[in-house]
Amino acid sequence: MPARCMKDLPSRSLAEHWASIKWPMLAFQAGCHLFALIGLFFVASCQWRTWLFTSVLAELSILGVTSGVHRLWTHKSYKAHWSVRFFLMLCFSVSNQGAIVEWVRDHRIHHKYSETDADPHNARRGLFFSHIGWLLTKEHPKFIEACKTTSCDDLLDDWVVQLQLAGSPYSDLVCSFIFPTVVASYGWGEDPLRALLVAGFLRYVFILHCTCLVNSVAHFYGTTPYDPNIHPTENRWVALLTVGEGWHNWHHTFPYDYACAELGAKGQYNPSKMFIDSCAALGLVSGRKRALHAWQTKQHKLAAQDHAKEF
C-alpha cells in the first residue's frame, strides 16, 4: 500500500537541526549500531546454541514490550499475577528501552495527542523521525507540556515497576548486554566477544528497530479498515516482526483491547495474545478486555446510516 499523505511541516535550518540533537544518545546508538554491524560478521562462526539463545532472547525481549509495558502497564488491558509481571519486567529490561514509567508516559501521550507536536514520535515529521529520529533529538515543547499533565501514578503501586525504576538504566544495560554474554560464554563456552556482539548488540539493535516499526511504518503503510480517518494502519509485516503489534489501526481505534487486533491468533499473527491467553489458562491473568462488541456496535450504526441515506 502507498504511504498515507502527511501535511508538509515548516523546514528547519541546519543549525536548528544541529542544536536539537541529543549527542549522548546519538553516540550511544551509533556505538550500538557499529557493534551490531560488526556482530553480523561473527554470526556464521557462532555456535548453534548461541544462535538459538539469541533468537529466544530476542523474542522474549520484544514480548516484554508488547505483552508487558504496552498492553499491561500502558493500557491496563488485563491484570496479571506478580510472577507474570516480574517475568515481563525482566524481558522488558533485556530490550533496554528505558524505565517502564517513562515508556508508559510516552505511549500514553502518543495516543492522546497522536500525530501532533505533542506526540513524541509524531509521524507527520517523517518516516525517519517517527522511526528513530525522535530518540536522537530533543523533545518538542508541546511534548514537555504534555508530560506535566500525563500521570503514571497508577504504576507506582506496583512493586515490580518500582524495582525496575530503581535499577534503570544500569540494570537494563546489564540485562541487555552483560547477561547474554555471561550465559553464552559460561553456559556452553561461546567466545565472550562473539556472545556480546551477537546476543548482545546485534539482538538489541534488531529488536529496537522492530519496535520502532510500529511508530513509523505502521503509521505510513497499510490499510485502515476500522477508522480511515487516522493514520495508524494494519500491517502484517510489522505484526510478524513485533509478535502481533502490527494491527495498529484496530489498536488506535480500541486501545484498551488486550489483543490489539480484531481476530484471534489463528486469523492474525499475534503471539503476544497467545502468551496472555496461556497465562490466563494457568490462572495467572484475569480481566482481559476486548472491543469486539464495540466494533460490532459501530458497524451496525454505520450500516444504519448508509441505509438511511438510501431513502
| For range 119-142, the mean pLDDT | 95
Mean pLDDT over each residue of the chain, to the nearest integer: 92
Whether the predicted pLDDT of 279 surpasses 90 = yes
User: Which residues lie below 8 Å from residue 36, measured CB to CB, with a gap of 6+?
Assistant: 197, 201, 202, 204, 205, 206
| For range 164-188, the mean pLDDT | 96
Whether the predicted pLDDT of 4 surpasses 60 = no
Whether the predicted pLDDT of 138 surpasses 70 = yes
Whether the predicted pLDDT of 271 surpasses 70 = yes
How far apart CA 274 and CA 276 sit, in angstroms, is 5
> Of the candidates 14, 205, 227, 30, which has an alpha carbon nearest to the alpha carbon of residue 114?
227
Confidence at 1, pLDDT banded by 50, 70, 90: very low
- Range from 48-62, 256-270, 293-307 carrying the lowest mean pLDDT: 293-307
Q: Name which residue leads in pLDDT, 167 or 299.
A: 167
How far apart CA 235 and CA 212 sit, in angstroms, is 13
Q: What is the pLDDT of residue 20?
A: 84
Q: What is the pLDDT of residue 2?
A: 44
**In the chain, what percentage of residues exceed pLDDT 70?**
91
| For range 38-52, the mean pLDDT | 96
| For range 143-168, the mean pLDDT | 94
Q: What is the pLDDT of residues 209-256, one digit of tens each?
A: 999 999 999 999 999 999 999 999 999 999 999 999 999 999 999 999
Whether the predicted pLDDT of 65 surpasses 50 = yes
| For range 22-48, the mean pLDDT | 96
Angle at 56 between CA 55 and CA 59, to 5 degrees: 90
Q: What is the pLDDT of residue 265?
A: 79
Confidence at 266, pLDDT banded by 50, 70, 90: confident
Whether the predicted pLDDT of 8 surpasses 80 = no
| For range 67-75, the mean pLDDT | 97
> Of the candidates 60, 53, 59, which has an alpha carbon nearest to the alpha carbon of residue 89?
60
- Residue 21 DSSP SS3: strand
State the maximum Cα–Cα separation within the chain, in Å, rounded to a whole number.
76
| For range 295-306, the mean pLDDT | 71
Domain ranges of the chain: 23-310
Whether the predicted pLDDT of 3 surpasses 50 = no
